Structure 1
């Protein structure tokens, strides 16, 4: 199949409302969003605490967070597979080859990304902000909220980076989800499958969806940052 023919067929699939195609997209979005909703609070809090607190082993914690960014997702998938298998310690959950298993894997993938980006954002903040809040009698919880609000765009960038890392990964999703049609087949695993079968149109169509999602999310962040800069300029 020529490239132009494959692209034409891909657009036709998207516009035709192909049920199989949109089911794959729905599963990807559903699992990714749920994983981020569950992982974001812990990631943001961990990133803030590591950046803002002084404690024994802080350098080791930062090193571990940064090192975890380099872990291949297929390794995370392998470890989670062993944990969720019948002989594994979490086998009773019966999450292997299910959407719950995919969500668990995506959480493990997103956690270090969002933690590292939040840590960097908090470290870049003006230290006088937290010091002033403490001087005014703010509680530790209030200080954290104040600092995180100040670096909110950095935190948003962390969440977007986590989203991009999760929705575009394929290794963990295949190993833990099993690429089951209509249940655990995601955009990336479907692309891998269809390409291996020589059916490029569906793979290209799903790739277009991935690119469109990335463009929309990053455009929203750019617009919000632009509005914030404009508001500061007006004051």
Structure 2
């Protein structure tokens, strides 16, 4: 198929409301959002605690968080596959080749990204802020909220980066989810499958959707950062 014909057919698929195509998009957005929601709060909390507390093994934790950022997603998928297989310690959950398994993989992929970026954002914030809050009698929860609010640009970047890592990965979703049509087939696994079959139109259509999502998410982050800076400047 000529590339121009494939691009034309891709837009036809998108605007015709092809149910199979949009089901793939829905599954991908659903598993990504749930995985991010599961990983976000504990990862941000862990990033804050590591950044603000000295404890034995702290440097090891930071090193492991940074190393996990460059760990291949297919390796994480392999480890999770072994854990969820029938002979694995979590086999009783029966999550393998299900959306629950894909979501678990997405959460595992997003956790270190959110932790590492939150850690960096909190470390870069003014340490006098927490000291002042403590002096004024703020509770630990209030101090944490104050510091995280001060580092909100970095935390928002952490969430955006985590979302991008989750929705764009293919190795873990393929191994744990099995690329089952209507159940675990995400945008990236569908692109890999359709391209290998020579169905370039659907692959291009899904690629356009993936790029569009990335543009919208990053645009939203830029708008939030811009609005927050404008408010801070006028305050």
Aligned counterparts, 1:160-171, within 5 A: 160-171=160-171
How far residue 232 of structure 1 moved from its aligned partner, in angstroms, is 2.1
Aligned to 1:117: 117
Q: Check if 1:37 corresponds to 2:73.
A: no
Aligned to 1:128: 128
How far residue 11 of structure 1 moved from its aligned partner, in angstroms, is 0.3
Partners of 1:146 and 1:173 in 2: CA distance: 37
Aligned to 2:58: 58
Aligned to 1:222: 222
Partner SS for 1:163: helix
Aligned to 1:76: 76
**Residues 161-182 of structure 1: CA distance to partner in whole angstroms, max 9, x if unpaired?**
0000000000000100000001
Aligned counterparts, 1:7-46, within 5 A: 7-46=7-46
Partners of 1:143 and 1:230 in 2: CA distance: 24
Partners of 1:48 and 1:229 in 2: CA distance: 22
How far residue 233 of structure 1 moved from its aligned partner, in angstroms, is 2.2
**Residues 67-124 of structure 1: CA distance to partner in whole angstroms, max 9, x if unpaired?**
1111100000000001101111100100000000000001110000010000000000
Aligned to 2:190: 190
Aligned to 2:48: 48
Query: Normalization by structure 2: what TM-score?
Result: 0.99
How far residue 2 of structure 1 moved from its aligned partner, in angstroms, is 1.4
Partners of 1:170 and 1:86 in 2: CA distance: 23
Query: Normalization by structure 1: what TM-score?
Result: 0.99
Aligned to 1:141: 141
Q: Alignment length, in residue pairs?
A: 235
Partners of 1:95 and 1:73 in 2: CA distance: 18
Partners of 2:144 and 2:53 in 1: CA distance: 11
Structure 2 alignment gaps of length 5 or more: none
Partners of 1:168 and 1:122 in 2: CA distance: 26
Partners of 2:232 and 2:103 in 1: CA distance: 39
Partner SS for 1:220: helix
- Root mean square deviation of aligned Cα: 0.7
Structure 1 alignment gaps of length 5 or more: none
Aligned counterparts, 1:99-110, within 5 A: 99-110=99-110
**Residues 172-231 of structure 1: CA distance to partner in whole angstroms, max 9, x if unpaired?**
001000000011000000000000000000000000000000111110111111111212
Partner SS for 1:47: helix
Partners of 1:177 and 1:96 in 2: CA distance: 7
Partners of 2:129 and 2:86 in 1: CA distance: 51
Q: Check if 1:158 corresponds to 2:158.
A: yes
